[in-house]
Structure 1
Amino acid sequence: MSASQPAHDAPATHVVQTRRFSCDGGEGALGHPRVWLTIPQETGWIDCPYCDARYTLDPAASHDGH
């Protein structure tokens, strides 16, 4: 494996409808503890600290987090 090839596949990217949402790894008992995440206005995205999935806010979505 060369240095330019990743050791594993890139994590999934999900588009969400609100800034505040939860992630549980999406694999039932094989997932991770549910965590609540809030997408910062400055970046427009956030990565889950457990599974590294990236979440971005749908441009047409509500921006108030509710």
Structure 2
Amino acid sequence: MTTQAPETVVVKAYRIACDGGGAALGHPRVWLQIPHETGFVECPYCDAKYVHADFEGKA
């Protein structure tokens, strides 16, 4: 059995919300702050990686 890589989402805001994306398959909504230094943040629930558009291809 293989494990799928977490989803990577490119966003235009530095503060974003993640709810896991699916009603029964989701998780509680959490607000995440993307640091200006690194340009990305990972959701502590679903491991989705959010990358700011300014850092696309770098993070």
Shorter-chain-normalised TM-score: which range? 0.7 to 0.9
For structure 2, the residue ranges without an aligned partner over 5 or more in a row are 55-59
Choose 1 or 2 for highest CA Rg.
Answer: 1
Quick one: distance in 2 between partners of 1:30 and 1:11? 14
Which of 17, 40, 49 is the equivalent residue of 2:35? 40
CA RMSD in angstroms comes to: 1.3
Q: Where does 1:22-37 land on structure 2 (aligned, <5 Å)?
A: 22-37=17-32
Identify the match of residue 52 of structure 1 among 35, 39, 47: 47
CA distance in structure 1 between the aligned counterparts of 2:14 and 2:50, rounded to whole angstroms: 9
- Normalised to the residue count of structure 2, the TM-score between the two structures is 0.84
Say how many residue pairs are matched: 54
The offset of 1:54, in angstroms, is 0.3
Identity of aligned residues (%): 59
Q: Aligned equivalents of 1:24 and 1:54: distance in 2?
A: 13
Stretches of structure 1 that go unaligned for 5 or more consecutive residues are 2-6, 60-66
Q: TM-score, normalised by structure 1?
A: 0.75
Shift of 1:17: 1.0
